């Protein structure tokens, strides 16, 4: 029987996080982002960025979590990164203080497609919510590509909803629309929510 759990990322996980990010983007975003952009992503560069995120986060509330599938062997299968909302979480033209100091921003939430539908995304999100609650954050936001139905469906199935904000990322002269979703962070753990 396979078991899954979530733990804080360690420095030695950076390479595997980068591999998961690259593999997932190349599958999930192949019809959303230009192919040459996905083909030219540098795994070593991504690994250095993840290493810095784990070793030198901007604050104690910035965290990278990893999902582990444990069977005969253990495999890193997904990850989530979040922290207090900053300018990257804002919509175009939104004032700098629009989200407030009590808002978390999810910057990444990915599970490698071959490990999907095994509860890893839900465990990552539940662990992040527990940490946001500990940090006194009362709301969370996340940007999703408008065409990324899987991410939007997953988030809305867990209570997230669009907050009306939209933007378009300029990816090599191609505008890729995104929508922002938000959710309230319950002040108490929800029945059945992870206590990790």
Instruction: For residue range 178-193, list pLDDT tens digits in order.
Output: 999 999 998 777 654 4
**What's residue 194's pLDDT?**
43
Phi, psi of 81 (to 5 degrees): -130, 135
Asked if residue 53 lies in contact with residue 81, where contact means CB atoms within 8 angstroms, the answer is: yes
Phi, psi of 111 (to 5 degrees): -125, 130
**What's residue 195's pLDDT?**
38
Residue ranges in the chain modelled with pLDDT below 70: 1-2, 115, 190-196
**What's residue 70's pLDDT?**
83
**Can you read off the two tokens belonging to residue 83?**
């922290």
Start-to-end CA span in the chain (Å): 20
**What's residue 73's pLDDT?**
80
**Can you read off the two tokens belonging to residue 35?**
């192919």
**What's residue 64's pLDDT?**
98
79 CB burial (10 A radius; 0-12, 13-18, 19+): buried
Instruction: Identify which of 146, 155, 157 has the alpha carbon closest to the alpha carbon of residue 80.
Output: 155
The CATH class that applies to domain 4-91+99-141 reads alpha beta
Q: Over the stretch 142-188, which tens digit does the pLDDT of each residue have?
A: 999 999 999 999 999 999 999 999 999 999 888 999 999 999 998 77
Question: Kindly report the CA angle at 56 between 51 and 62, in degrees rounded to 5?
Answer: 100
Output the pTM of the full model.
0.90
Asked if residue 4 lies in contact with residue 119, where contact means CB atoms within 8 angstroms, the answer is: yes
Range 124-128, long-range pairs (CB < 8 A, 24+ positions): 124/6, 124/65, 124/67, 124/78, 124/79, 124/80, 125/80, 125/158, 126/6, 126/193, 126/194, 126/196, 127/6, 127/65, 127/80, 127/194, 127/196, 128/63, 128/65, 128/80, 128/82, 128/104
**Which residues on neighbouring strands pair with residue 183, listed in sequence order?**
140
Crossing angle between the packed helical segments 14-28 and 43-55, to the nearest 10 degrees = 130
């Amino acid at each position: 029987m396979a078991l899954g759990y979530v733990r804080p990322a360690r420095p030695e996980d950076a390479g595997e996080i980068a591999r998961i990010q690259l593999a997932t983007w190349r599958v999930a975003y192949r019809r959303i982002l230009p192919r040459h952009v996905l083909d030219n992503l540098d795994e070593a560069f991504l690994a250095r960025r993840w290493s810095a995120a784990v070793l030198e986060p901007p604050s104690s509330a910035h965290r990278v979590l990893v999902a582990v599938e444990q069977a005969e062997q253990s495999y890193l299968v997904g990850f989530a990164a979040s922290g207090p909302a900053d300018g990257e979480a804002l919509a175009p033209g939104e004032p700098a203080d629009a989200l407030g100091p009590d808002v978390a921003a999810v910057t990444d939430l990915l599970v490698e497609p071959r490990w999907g539908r095994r509860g890893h995304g839900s465990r990552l999100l539940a662990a992040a919510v527990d940490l946001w609650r500990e940090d006194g954050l009362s709301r969370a936001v996340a940007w999703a590509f408008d065409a990324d139905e899987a991410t939007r469906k997953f988030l809305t199935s867990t209570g997230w909803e669009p907050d009306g904000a939209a933007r378009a990322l300029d990816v090599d002269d191609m505008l890729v629309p995104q929508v922002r979703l938000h959710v309230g962070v319950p002040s108490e753990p929800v029945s059945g929510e992870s206590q990790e």
